[in-house]
Structure formats: C-alpha cells, structure tokens
Structure 1
C-alpha cells in the first residue's frame, strides 16, 4: 500500500543502507526526539497570553533572484503563542525591505500594499552583476532567516555576509542575464498530489505528525495548483510542464479535477504537457487507468516527444511498471530504446527532458533509498545517451520535493534540476527562460493569500526539518543562469509542428 506522501519521506519504507542512516542520524535525532515528546504530551493548546504589540519576524528567505529582481519572504508571529503545531499565531502587520549597494546605505525601499503575516516583497529594477545589501522589517522589527545550518546552507543570500548578526543586513549578487534575445519561457512544476488531505505522513515514523488544512478551507492541493497556474501565466510562461504525481493516488475524480485546474493554463498537448509519476499509476492492475483516460485520450504510450519551433520537449513515464510506488523508478525496455533512439537521431537539437524520478539524488538531508530515483542502471544509460547528445541542456524532475541543481561529469552540459513540490512548502514552480545564447532557471513561490498561508503552515512537515530539505540549500539550487547555444529555437516556441496540438495530446509518441 502506498502512503499519501511521496519521496523522499515515503521512500523511507525502502530500507536505506547503514552508511546512509549513520550520515543522517545525527541530524535527524534531535528533531525526532522533540516530535516524540510533543506527541506524547499532546501539545495542541493555543496560547493567547501575550502583549498586544509583541511581534517576531522570522523565516526570512531570498526565494527568487534574477538579473533584475529579487523576491524576499518572511512571517510575522505573536511570540508566546502556539497554534497547536508549535508555530506562532500570525501577527498581521506591514512589511518592507530596505536595500542598497553598501551595507551602511540602505537607501532604497520596497513595501507591501496591505498588512499581512505572510510577507512577500519583490525588488525590481536591479542591476545585473551588482551586490546588494538588504534588511526585511515589520513594524521596525528585523526579520531573521530560516536556519539552514543542518545542510550548511544560506536561505537569504549568495554569500555569508550578515549571517553572524540578528536581522542583517544580508547580501546577494545579481547574476548576468542569459545571453541573446528572449525566445520563450516554460513553467516547470510537479507533485500536485490532488486528493491528498495530510502533508508529511511518513512511513515508519508515526510520531512525526502530518499537517492538515485548517477546517473549513479548500483542499490545499487544489489551492496550490490553482495558484501555480495563475502565477505561471502572470510570470510570462508560454508553456507548462507537469512532471508527475498529478494526483495523490490515481483516483479518477482527482485526476479529473487536476485536468480541470491545468486547463486553466491552456490546452493539454499544446500549451501544457503532463507525465505521470508513481502516484498516478492505478493501485491495482485490473483498475482503470485514470491518468491515461484524462491525459492520453485512453490510448497510446505515456511518453512522447514534441517539436515546438525548434525546441524538442521529451516527456518520460518514469514508473512504467507495476509496484507500490516506494521502489525505484523505471522506464520499460521499449520506452528506453525509443528514448535513446530519439537522442541519437537528432543529438544536436535543443532538448528539454522531463519526468518524475530524478536520475540521481545528491546531498539529501534524509537517508537516500532507491525509491527516490530512477534505477541506477537506467540512469547510467540515460547519462551515457546525454553525453552523445549535446543539444540536451535540461532534465527536469520532481519526486524528491526539493529544489536541487546537479551537474554530473558524465554529461556536464545537462542541468539536472529537481523542483520542489507544488502542493506544500515552499510551494511553487521554476520558470525556465530560454534565450538564444543560454537560459535561466528561477524558482517562484505561489503568492496568493491562501497559498502563502498554507505554505507557512506546511513548513512544519517532518517535525520542522522540512525547510532544510525542500527550499534548497543555496540560492543557486533554485536560481541559476547557464550559457548554451539555443539559437535554433523560434521565439515563443512557434511555429509548432502539427503533432503538438493534436488530440489526445501527448498520447502518441512522435519525434
């Protein structure tokens, strides 16, 4: 039986190696003990004894960093309060970021247009290659960072300036823009888990409670997916690629609802493409295949290739087998042969590959089991194919529910980008901006009011360890720029080949 929370935590049901346990045990033990104590004492009361003007600003994060803008988020709470999950009750107030090019001259400011406890400030008109110093404030109180010390990370900047102080200023350096003219933008997303009701249920660790939505509110997977669709369009995405675990368990009603929400972005097979993950497989062999019915027109393979004005998109079905979802991902022999043949035929064509399971999982806070990735033998085979296909520049995966950028020596021209889950903290997508001479990858949190509230509530998954895993240990894990010759791609991905808009979408494999 599959649990409702996918890798990496559900994959713990697949036994990790002893060395993996030892490597992570020292980090996990204190949190596990705190969670166990909380479960045993049943600390569910809400405390209200506090000074009416008291305020604490926490969880400061530099989420998005491009050549000309930065997005900074934080939370304001009432000290001494507890919502029953060990989290401060919200303190609704104003928020601003003061910033400048010298730590003693923060002479520019950006403020929110309304009071909130879930702050989201965007700095614009920044200069490429410039170092900026900043401080986030609410009612005069400086916000302190999300601590990422367990993974030796930095949530608030591109260097360690200001981390020894309380409240900054912190600093970041804007990257250079991708070379050449902008051609098109693609939203990369995954792990909607439509139908899920509790985030963070962990197989084998019953004392770590999951986090459920507040009573009376809409289901959080639907809130987050709708917000993603709206935000992706607002940020200029021309296409959207959804890399699996569209549903929590492959139920027909959940996949139908997911399709309705995604149709808000455009037409499937033309404006957006979806592949399935292990959670989208039917639970029983004799059960109906709802993903195939909703997204594939009931026929054809669940993998495909499409030419969009010179840019090739290849979608993979990385769990093309029977199983409970906790084991390693796998492509069938026919799919793997098809995939390698496509790359061999046109190895120089600019190509984006996306599928649910990553090829490798590096630097994870949690023990890494085989269920978190594609099978080793197939992963090596794909990397070997990439080595002979210089046109492939990006492999987008989900499943691990984290932001992580990896480059491997077997195919250094291919960025392996894991994107965090859309359904909960940090909640959002990565925007791939393709230029004629390179590309940028930038992560965006969904910014609707309900999405911000759920994102803050769900950061308490895994006994509070979740930010150490999901956000990305560095700004570069969620924001990067890479030079690459993409001059063969048409602006906005047009004109597209006839197969792009043909129904049933990506049900028919085509090169």
Structure 2
C-alpha cells in the first residue's frame, strides 16, 4: 500500500483540481495497458523532453532531460530511449549563449552541471541533443516552473529559459548535512494506490537490481561526493519493517559512516513494529538495526553546537495509513529539551510533516502528523528561537513552507530517495545562514529508474514530486548560526562536473 495516496477520502479543493486530469490519465493508461510497442519510421529522429533545473546554488546549476526516439512508444506511453550526446549552451544574454557544458558521454538520461557561475547573475540556457532543443517537464496542473526562476523562454519551444543564481549564505561554511527519506527497502512496485485498480504502479525492468537498493546506494555515494559531513534519514527506511529489509538498509547506510555518529535515522510509518505472535515472529526490527536514543526511537544529539532532534512520528498503534503520532512521553520530552536551551541552533527531523500545503493530490489525515500534536510542536517552536529547520518526508515531494506561528523555522519536505525525482537535499550551514539544495542521484542506473518511475500516478507524478518551483527545492536563509563549529575533519565541498 502506497503511504501517501492510499486513503479513500480527501480535500475537496485538491480533488476538484485533480479529478479531471486523473480521469484522463487513467483512461490513457488503460488504453496503453493493451498497447503494442510502436517503432518509428525514422529511428534517428530524437525528441528531447522532461527538461528540469534540479539544483541551483550560487555557483552551480544541475540540468537534466531525457531523449527518446520521436514517434516511438514503449507500450506505456513513453518514448523508447535514444542514446545520444547532450549539451547545454548558456550565457548572460538570451541572444548570446556563448558557453557550453556537456556530459562527455552518450546517454538517454542527461545530467549536465554548469559550474563557476556568478552569484546574483541571470543566465539564459538551452539544452540540446542531436540538434533538438529540450522541452520542460509540464507542471500545468500546479502552475509551476520546472526549468527556471522566471517565465522567460516559455513562449517558444525549447527556450532559451532563464534562472538567477542566489547569493551564498553569509559568512564561513561550517557543516554540510544530507537530508533524505523514504528509501523503502524491500519495495517492488512504486506508486501502488489502494482502491484504484488502474493505478498499477511501476516496477523495475527484469534483470536489473531492485530499485530501492540502486537508489539507496546512489544516495550514499552522491552525498559523500557532494561533501556531506552527516546524513539524516527521516523514516520509511523499509517498505514494511521486515528484518531483512532493515538489515539491507543498515548495510547501505553504513557505507556513509557510523550510525549514531556520522548518520542518524528515525522511524516512518512503514517501519512500524509488528506485534510478536506465534504466526509472526517479528518485533521492533527497526530498533534492532538502529538502536539508541533518549526514548524508544527518538533522540537529541549535539554536533559541535548544532543540536539535532530526531522524532519518531509513528510511536503509536496503527496500520500505517493514518496520521502520524508521538506518544505523550515523547512529546513532553521534546518540549522539555527545546526549553533547556531555547537559543541553541537546532534542527528537527521526523517522517510526517507538520502541515501539507498546496498538494496536487487530495490531502488526507494520513499525510501529516496529528493536528493537535503539530500545533503543540509549532507552539514550542514559537518560543524556541534557536530552531531553524524541520525536515520531513512521507509526502514524497519537494516543498518549502514557512508558517506564521514560527516564521523563523523552515519546514522542508524532501522527495523520496526511492523514485522520481530520486534524490536528497544538502543543508549547507554557514556562520550567517544556510542553504538547502536538492540533488538527484546521478549514477546511470539511478537516472534510468528515475525516468522510468516518473510514470507513477498515471504520469502525473512529476507535478506533485518535483516541486512546483525551483525555490521549493533550492533556498537560502540568512540566520546567525555562528555558535556551530566545523567538524574536526571534513571532506571539502567541491563541485566537480560528473564524468
């Protein structure tokens, strides 16, 4: 059962927006279910599609797209891959795209980095493959923009599109932390929706490794390569709490470092404990693999003046489809810990978000933390000025939210590791603020699965998961964080183009 789209009731506003498009998509999916693979008359004709500006920092942009054979159909409404070259031409004027970046290899899943950009500068760009200009991932249902920070270029097919680089966070860089969630080790089909037969989900191609393993290993490798000092995994580490899946997750995450020192993990609703019985020998397999904490599965740690608080947002009985919940003991512990040092720089992470705003899909109680407890946490933040970030998963989307109850706290939902867009956020902490930047995992198998899994929800998934704007996955906040110290030893954060 898919954790975010499985409930039978939803918000009327989202349902009214989604229903016509979903019905059309389901009807098309039903037709495609019996469709034959269609080969084009001209196998050399290439279409470049699904262009996305994924990452935008003060000096770096990551741009991705897909090339398929024009007029082809793999039987599921998707272009057959066309392996070809890819390049991005760009410059500071739309009529002078005088710089070029490329991957240096042929592929259908293009991933190009623009480096050495100037902070605060507007750039214009066009992505090309075999002379064909790439067109954006459509976000028309959410009135979003997948390719830039302005609407420049949308009047013509293929751009050039435009973005403006932000200024870096003020001050000296201190630490970098990777934020991730929803690995779902053990899952075999992405996007299953209970009660909707035509939403069959997407599975891995025969003969390839399970996609949660591919994406989990790519996460660890990419986070280390991008210079992360620590990694925080906010729940749904497994697909159902099975011991073998959690053991596999532990083995993968151990590739980043030592649990409880280099990386930290909290429980999601899919990691809920199973009651022991004669027929079911499983207990709390999550704590068997990820022990430690101030309570059963929650904790606070000090990392050189930075306090991180991990919440178990499913410390309750339930089948996983209902709202998240903290035990009374955990909530009391949490409020007391934040009162101890109200001004200490603090970030909190847990699986269920405190609120779900602007969702394409109907918003159900199962998508968030219990309302009363969410209000209690926000009330605690309002009198704890040191808290600056709350990281959550569960919704499988990129979304930045700031609420009036605690304007000093960024609520950042991060999309799932295990499926499109398939990645993580880097939190770069400076003495005078912080940046949040989203990265897709970039290994070949990860790129291939990410493209395949964009078909989730009858092809509507990108409009939910990517983030309706570049700012939902890339942002800079000014804040005094000078009380945090750098780690004793740290791999320098160096942006290197992929090869």
State TM-score, norm by structure 1: 0.93
* Distance in 1 between residues matched to 2:177 and 2:469, nearest whole Å: 22
Helix, strand or coil: the match of 1:460? coil
- Structure 1 position 279 matched with structure 2 position 270: yes
Structure 1 match to 2:243: 252
- Whole-Å separation in 2 of the counterparts to 1:109 and 1:378: 51
How is 1:207-356 mapped onto 2 (pairs within 5 angstroms)?
207-284=198-275, 286=277, 287-296=282-291, 300-356=295-351
2-side partners of 1:297 and 1:489: how far apart? 24
**How far apart, in 2, do the equivalents of 1:248 and 1:97 lie?**
38
Task: Give the superposition deviation at 1:83.
Answer: 1.5
Distance 1:298 1:478 in 2: 30
**Deviation readout 1:219-271 (Å, 9 max, x if unpaired):** 00000000000000000000000000000000000000000000000000000
Corresponding residue for residue 502 of structure 1: none
Task: Map 1:356-395 to 2 at 5 A.
Answer: 356-395=351-390
Contact 1:309–1:494 under 8 Å retained in 2: no
Q: Is the 8 A contact 2:32 2:76 kept in 1?
A: no
Structure 2 vs 1, CA of residues 417 and 223 (structure 1 numbering), >3 Å: closer, same or farther? same
Task: Quickly say closer, same or farther: Cα 1:41–1:424, change in 2 above 3 A.
Answer: closer
For residue 362 of structure 1, report the CA deviation from its aligned partner: 0.1
Helix, strand or coil at the partner of 1:149: coil
Within 1, Cα distance between the matches of 2:488 and 2:64?
33
TM-superposition CA deviations, 1:139-182 (whole Å, max 9, x none): 11100000111101100000111112100000000000000000
Note the 1:183-198 alignment, pairs <5 A: 183-198=174-189
What is the alpha-carbon distance in structure 1 between the residues aligned to residue 161 and residue 68 of structure 2? 21
Query: 1:480 deviation in Å?
Result: 0.1
Contact kept, 8 Å, 2:190 with 2:203, in 1: the verdict is: yes
- Asked if 2 retains the 8 angstrom alpha-carbon contact of 1:50 and 1:78, the reply is no
- Match of residue 439, structure 2, among 429, 444, 447: 444
C-alpha distance in 2 between matches for 1:22 and 1:278: 26
1:113 paired with 2:104, answer yes
2:26·2:458 contact (CA, 8 Å) conserved in 1?
yes
Alignment of 1:457 onto 2:442: no
SS of 1:492's equivalent in the other structure is coil
2:56 and 2:24 mapped to 1: Cα distance? 36
Distance 1:154 1:390 in 2: 33
| Distance change >3 Å, CA 34–CA 411, structure 1 → 2 | closer
Q: Which runs of 5+ in 1 are unaligned?
A: 496-511
**Where does residue 496 of structure 2 map in the other structure?**
none
Q: Is the 8 A contact 1:186 1:433 kept in 2?
A: yes
Q: Deviations over 1:14-47 (max 9, x none)?
A: x22xxx2354334332332332353266334212
Preserved CA contact (<8 Å) 1:292 1:299: no
CA shift for structure 1 position 493: 7.1
TM-score (norm: length of structure 2): 0.95
Name the residue aligned to 1:400. Answer: 395
1:207 offset after TM fit, Å? 1.1
For structure 2, list consecutive stretches of 5 or more residues without a partner in the other structure: 491-499
Let me know the Cα RMSD of the aligned residues.
1.5
Structure 1 residues 41 and 472: CA distance shift in structure 2, 3 A: closer
Contact 1:309–1:493 at 8 Å: present in 2 too?
A: no
Match of 2:137 in 1: 146
In 2, Cα distance between equivalents of 1:211 and 1:35: 14
For residue 52 of structure 2, what is the aligned residue in structure 1?
61
Q: Distance in 2 between matches of 1:191 and 1:493?
A: 30
Does the CA-based 8 Å contact 2:218-2:442 persist in structure 1? yes
1:443 match: secondary structure: strand
- State the aligned residue count: 486
Q: Deviations over 1:380-424 (max 9, x none)?
A: 000000000110000000000000000000000000000000000
What residue number does 2:16 align with?
25
Task: Give the distance between the partners of 2:324 and 2:129, measured in 1 at CA.
Answer: 45
Evaluate the alpha carbon distance shift between residue 210 and residue 189 of structure 1 in structure 2; reply closer, same or farther with a 3 A threshold: same
